[in-house]
Structure 1
Amino acid sequence: MRLRNIPGAKDAIASSKYVVQEPEKQKGTWNKVFGNQNPVHIEVGMGKGRFIMDMAEKHPEINYVGIEMYDSVLLRALQKMEERELAGTLPENLVFLRMDARTLPLVFEKGEVGKIYLNFSDPWPKERHAKRRLTSRQFLERYNQILAADGVVEFKTDNKGLFEFSLEEVEEAGWKLLGHTFDLHQDNEMNEGNVMTEYEEKFSSMGNPIYKLIAGR
């Protein structure tokens, strides 16, 4: 269960140098935020940030934007960044946004994002909430508005129902399924270069299979 109310979280986020405030003002100019022309990859619903921090450290040639809508969860990520800074391992190619993913097209210009990562997203199990799922056709349309022509969405989950729903939505949205697996850690091709999230490590250690798909237009 995600904690949503930690005293001082909003103030910490508002004053953090790791968080871009008023990100809609950066639309079309994210290269200036990072000071280079490297590709921009984003993670929507980054949680405590371990995955995207590890990715940024592993791939300094790519700029990363971590997006989280819950203050208390983003605060944990900020604390981890502070720990990395003290340890001298702070990734310079990573910033965070506190925002609702429904407004992505207001923050990124068409073609400005090269890849979108979705990791262990909230399944929103009730059918009436289907459009809130980050792999719904409604969200795929939002991603379509910001992805580069050859951009892709990579999605990982341990929830089989959500995964099967996602496979159907990719097809219904007119996207192309570029790859998928029902057991990531036993699929050598799909698992090559895989960077695990905290949830992934936890669920896989319990023997749960991890599902992954890659989709493009």
Structure 2
Amino acid sequence: MRLRNKPWADERLGEFPNYAIAQPESHKGKWRELFGNDNPLYIEVGTGKGRFITEMAKAHPTINFIGIEVYKSVIVSALDLLIEAAVPNLKLLSVDAVNLADYFEKGEVDRVYLNFSDPWPKTRHAKRRLTHSSFLGIYESILPEKGEIHFKTDNQGLFESSLLSISDYGMKLTFISLDLHNSSFEGNIMTEYEEKFSKKGNRIYRLEAQYR
């Protein structure tokens, strides 16, 4: 993904500390205190410009959401959506997913969403895929027993490698769709990429998996 540099992004994020959390490690084990309730907590890793996570927060006010995006030049777009939506159950973090265990206690996160992640198609880059076993271990460290991962992509190769990685890790696949938009699945909220690719005729793949 080619990113347009936004040197003002860091300052912009700092202007809204109630939405963009600057020191997430200080909230480890205390995220429900920050939200002011005991509702479930769902996170999206690789939230991009924020359409999915913002619409999810609007549609599910009794669930807390956190959008996680490493690139500040991207997450400022998510911040703009959040400011406009003014939903109290969504926060944003600009951090690297490899460090999630530094920000969340075991069992503190109830579900992880992965949407249209970078496919990293070359074999030598497999460890960078967000469904690689190393990342599955990171998610497991912050999810409860039988915690869930929900994953969507238009990339068939990534979907196939993810199915294999998740199965090899010992997780239970509870839902698989090879053509989401032509299935009976209800309640789908599209990401920016999902809308773009589906308009081109690309099939959308989706899975749900549960730790044992």
Q: Same fold (TM over 0.5)?
A: yes
- What pairs with 1:114-193 in structure 2 (closer than 5 Å)? 114-188=110-184, 191-193=185-187
Distance 1:212 1:66 in 2: 19
Cα pair 1:5 1:71 within 8 Å, conserved: no
Q: Deviations over 1:111-154 (max 9, x none)?
A: 11111000000111121111110011110000110112232000
Cα pair 2:54 2:81 within 8 Å, conserved: no
Distance 1:104 1:24 in 2: 9
Q: 1:23 is matched by which residue type in structure 2?
A: P
Q: Does 1:55 align with 2:53?
A: no
SS in 2 for 1:42: strand
Q: CA shift at 1:80, angstroms? A: 2.1
Distance 2:210 2:127 in 1: 19
Q: Deviations over 1:40-90 (max 9, x none)?
A: 0000000000100000000000000000000110111112223x1xxxx41
Aligned CA-pair RMSD: 1.1
Q: Does 1:35 align with 2:15?
A: no
Between the aligned residues of both structures, percent identity stands at 54
Give the number of equivalent residue pairs. 210
**Which of 187, 192, 196 is the equivalent residue of 2:190?**
196
After TM superposition, what 4+ stretches of structure 1 lie above 4 angstroms from structure 2? Answer: none
Q: Please, what TM-score do these two structures have when normalized by structure 2?
A: 0.96
Corresponding residue for residue 93 of structure 2? 97
The 10-residue stretch of structure 1 (8-17 or 116-125) with the greater mean CA deviation from structure 2 = 8-17
Corresponding residue for residue 13 of structure 1? 13
SS in 1 for 2:145: strand
Q: 1:11 is matched by which residue type in structure 2?
A: E
Corresponding residue for residue 71 of structure 1? 72
SS in 2 for 1:38: coil
Q: 2:131 is matched by which residue type in structure 1?
A: T
Q: CA shift at 1:4, angstroms? A: 4.9
Gaps of at least 5 residues in structure 1 are none
**Which of 183, 198, 204 is the equivalent residue of 1:210?**
204
